[in-house]
Amino acid sequence: MHIGSIAAVAELRAFLDSQYCELEEYLAFSGLEAAAAISLPGGVDLIPMTAVPESVLAISLADPDWIYYGRNAKGHVRHKTVETLIKFGTATWHTNPHVAMAALRIRFQRSPKVLATPVDFSNSLAKLLNIVRVLAAESCTAMFPVAHWISATPTTPLWNYFAWSEWYHQKWLRLFATTRGNEERIAARAAAWEALPEAVKSKLTIPLDRLNRALAAPLSVDCAIDLGLSLEALLLSDLGPNEQLSLAFRLRGAWLLGTTPAERKSLVRQFKDIYRCRSTAVHSGALPSDKCQVNGEKLSSDEFITKHARSITASAILHVISRGKFPEWGPLIIGAGE
């Protein structure tokens, strides 16, 4: 009904003649507009939603408010389109985080291809979610998982007949990043992530997840709390509850990112302000009323959190990914190297 008898018979013959069942695993997500396919390490492809085989599922993910109107004279599907509210250069804003603009895809083979009873295929969802979080840190833009599924090629399934996962995200005016012009950067960051030992990836999961939540937070108070949690998990995971956490927080952050005494002095103040904003937000539900200072400029706590603290947190996480390991904090802070 959906692809026509000739195409259906051709697919069936190809399946019967093949030694394997060809499968594709997808994680569709929003927050990133993919201009073209990018090959990432580990057999993962980053693709635009237009590269996903057309089906009711694929159309609805690219247009959550879709209403099917049939096809026009050229055979193209008539459906509602996502309205772009504001556009500055290559940055696009949308209100709906369920608009899937990109997908991660893994192709694999399954044998035997015919099973007597249904089985649950093992999936790579955790791996794909981590890649999405790394992309969020690289672009400093929130990424939202929308749907995950596994299907036989080339047909993408309808949701009535195949199991798939979906997420719910709060609708808000949000910035979408773009892959256009950033292809090499994305591939390099994904390669650095793929090369990390599993133990390091595991320790970075919470910092990456909390950073992504902070990037998506509509309120600066929520953003400050999530940034604080992200950096605490990154900088303080080896310390006990009775140690000097605030001091270690700002010293480790400054020495991780700073290369000169002047840079580290400025960073100590900024990490101190992040810690203070996070603590005040947790205990009072508001940000501090006094100003924060960045490179000699005084900013409100709200402006500091939204304009600077997010990028500082992303830089700290990405620095660890680039290093390929966590620093030995003691030698680093006393300037003795590692």
pLDDT tens, position by position, 257-293: 998 999 999 999 999 999 999 999 999 999 999 999 8
Query: Bigger pLDDT: 149 or 63?
Result: 149
In one letter, which amino acid is 325? K
Q: Is the pLDDT of residue 221 over 50?
A: yes
pLDDT at 85: 44
pLDDT tens for 318-335 read 999 999 999 988 877 776
Residues constituting the chain: 338
Which range has the worst mean pLDDT, 58-72, 161-175, 203-217? Answer: 58-72
Query: Bigger pLDDT: 318 or 66?
Result: 318
pLDDT tier at 131, thresholds 50, 70, 90: very high
- Say how many CA atoms lie within 13 Å of 285 toward its Cβ: 0
DSSP label at residue 148: E
Q: Which of 213, 221, 228 minimizes the C-alpha distance to 142?
A: 213
Residues with Cβ within 8 Å of residue 115, at least 6 apart in sequence: none
pLDDT at 310: 95
Residues with Cβ within 8 Å of residue 23, at least 6 apart in sequence: 107, 108, 109, 110, 121, 150, 151, 152, 153
